[in-house]
Amino acid sequence: MSHQTIHNWIEKYIELMKRYLDKITSNVSDTWRADEVFVKIHGDMSYLYALMDDQTRFWIAQEVAETKFTADIRPLFRQGKRLAGKQPVTLITDGAPNFHEACEKEYFTRRTADKTTHIKDIRFDGKVHNNKMERMNGEIRDREKVTRNLKTIDTPILTGCRFTTTSFVHIWH
């Protein structure tokens, strides 16, 4: 059996999972986390931005960009809102300005009761930290290493990571 046959099976499985998961609404909490991790795609540095539920650690949405601090990640937050059927009450990120800008533009509301609180001043050892998200970044890094970088931006490996790095227990209605 060739490596291409196995790759074709992975692509087929990932597409089946994606079609299934796109039809259902995930049961996520009101606190979400976002972060970026660098990945090599066809030898070039790119950044994988991910949005994760705090309680279930479900990977809600993802986006790949070429830059770190200036990438427009509003589509990531828009996709998360669409897939979860709501916006977070609390969003935890690092201090990158693009997270703050995207939060303000995508989750802004005039009603105080519906406003997303963005916690962006975090530390590894503080009361509020992003260690859960950093752990998920480690999982992504481990998978990327064994593939010796990713070949294309739309690789099924990244989509597959979204499905396999999360807990499927109690996340679906």
pLDDT greater than 60 at residue 23: yes
Contact 102, 74 (CB under 8 A): yes
**The predicted structure's pLDDT at residue 11:** 81
pTM of the model: 0.72
The one-letter amino acid code at 77 reads F
Amino acid occupying residue 140: I
Q: Which two tokens stand for residue 111?
A: 């009603």
* Mean pLDDT for the stretch of residues 50-69: 88
Superfamily of the domain at 3-164 = Ribonuclease H-like superfamily/Ribonuclease H (3.30.420.10)
Chain length of the chain = 173
